[in-house]
Structure 1
């Protein structure tokens, strides 16, 4: 196959793969999307913004892995909760920040095993501000995230893996 034939072929294969991935996202009005959007809200509006670590902990697997492009790896739920309690959520923290989801950035991709839903990948963009009433106006302090949600043995959605990356600062 000549070089001039390979390039269009590779472009077509890439386009087909991209189209298949784009179609795998669930509709924003679907039950799955709404469930995980609500879980994201609990995790951040209650757990992160209000520092209710019991709520955050209830949404995490014991063997949580959290990969952060600025602060490294957290290897368990207990380590994550401890870091939050002694850092962002410590009493009288003068550097408290709040997390906000960028509207319309949330995406959910279901994961199946033999046609049975066992989890989902949730991607989005969020931003951080010391102002708890801030509206998103620019790309200041935003980052991308991917949460791997798995249905546990009791039928509850919990986060197994987190990747938080591409953090930008003012």
Structure 2
């Protein structure tokens, strides 16, 4: 019985392993990450990002607290896009992103995306300077064959070295 439990646990972990970087799911998550961060955060075009968020979206930040969808978008407008003299950017750390599929009865219903990113600031034409680092974990849900961002955890924020 003990060995059967170990074998079952082993195969359960194998089924929940992260997907390969060239898999369709990984590439979809990478593209969605780009919409949230490259388009939304870096270019301050928040409409595509807002469209990806579920109505009950929640953002958990280890410094800023908890925000719902409206609060998250308002904070992005004010804190990230609100000062035209300061250009904030986020870059995904190459090789840090992992994607884990979530299935029920062999049916894909969601994915966990996690990774690490760095933040940069360019003020008044100065050189782009790395200012920070953080980790993130996001829960994406498949709703009517469309990926929607439902929960995001942003944590382990540190100043750049």
Scaled by the length of structure 2, the TM-score of the pair is 0.83
Quote the residue 2:147 is aligned against: 157
The structure in which a higher percent of residues are strand is 2
CA distance in 1, matches of 2:51, 2:118: 23
CA distance in 2, matches of 1:81, 1:32: 26
Indicate conservation of the 8 Å contact 2:98/2:113, yes or no: yes
How many Å apart are 1:90 and its aligned residue?
1.3
Quote the residue 1:70 is aligned against: 63
1:124 partner SS: strand
Displaced runs of 4 or more, over 4 A: 132-136
1:97 aligns with 2:88: yes
- The structure-2 alpha-carbon separation of the partners of 1:22 and 1:145, relative to structure 1 and needing over 3 Å to count, comes to farther
Quote the residue 1:51 is aligned against: 44
CA distance in 1, matches of 2:114, 2:15: 13
Structure 2, unpaired ranges of 5+: 1-5
Structure 1, unpaired ranges of 5+: 1-12
Q: CA RMSD in A?
A: 2.6
For residues 104-149 of structure 1, the C-alpha deviation after alignment (integer angstroms, 9 at most, x for no partner) is: 000000000111000000000001011498598xxx6111000100
Pick the structure with greater CA Rg: 1
Scaled by the length of structure 1, the TM-score of the pair is 0.79
Quote the residue 1:83 is aligned against: 75
CA distance in 1, matches of 2:15, 2:90: 27
How many Å apart are 1:25 and its aligned residue?
0.4
